[in-house]
Amino acid sequence: MKDLDKFKARVIKRDPMKALDSHLLNILLNEKSKIYIDLTLGIFCHNPMKNNGEEFIELLYEKVIDYVIDIESRKILIDLAIYCPNKDLLLYIKSGNTIEIIEVQGKKVHSLVFEGDKVNFGDKLFYVVTNKNEVHVIKSHLKGIVLFIGEVFSNGIQNEIMVIAKEENIYELSRCKY
């Protein structure tokens, strides 16, 4: 699988010492959990498709930012498929697409949207509680679809990272019926 090889190469490039430890890939990837997608039919399945749909392997969600999304260049590094259980759909975006990253921090951060939600200019994305217990609202400055929401804690401060991509760059796939 080309994307798995790309991913393994990215892990090695990012930290060559970890390349010696195949255990790392076993931690990051769950090769028993796969999905198959067919862009022409707009569907995804957990079982191989008759027409050999493209195969994706589950990656530890918390590592998406480290290995799949480049924060500095604001690009998707390898083809990405994210399952949205609240909508029972799969979001697919090809590598190389530009994304927008919204990063907020505070004593408490509450996301008001989920992966797969469409956002418009001015939509509320987060409530942020400051150290002074003030509540701030973070609003969207763009139109798109939420791809990823990640959380990082450090020294009592909560950081949230939200990744939004333009709607025209994302394929929304529904579950197959067979």
Residue whose C-alpha is closest to residue 144's, from 114, 122, 166, 170? 166
pLDDT on residue 28: 63
| Domains contained in the chain, CATH given | 2-98+168-175 (no CATH), 100-167 (2.40.50.100)
Q: What's the alpha-carbon Rg for the chain, to the nearest Å?
A: 17
pTM (2 d.p.) = 0.78
Tens place of pLDDT per residue across the chain (178 aa): 445 555 544 444 444 444 435 555 566 666 667 778 888 888 888 777 777 677 777 666 666 776 778 888 999 888 888 888 888 888 988 889 999 999 999 999 999 999 999 999 999 999 999 999 999 999 999 999 999 898 876 777 889 999 999 999 999 989 887 6
Residue appearing with tokens 């804690």? 153
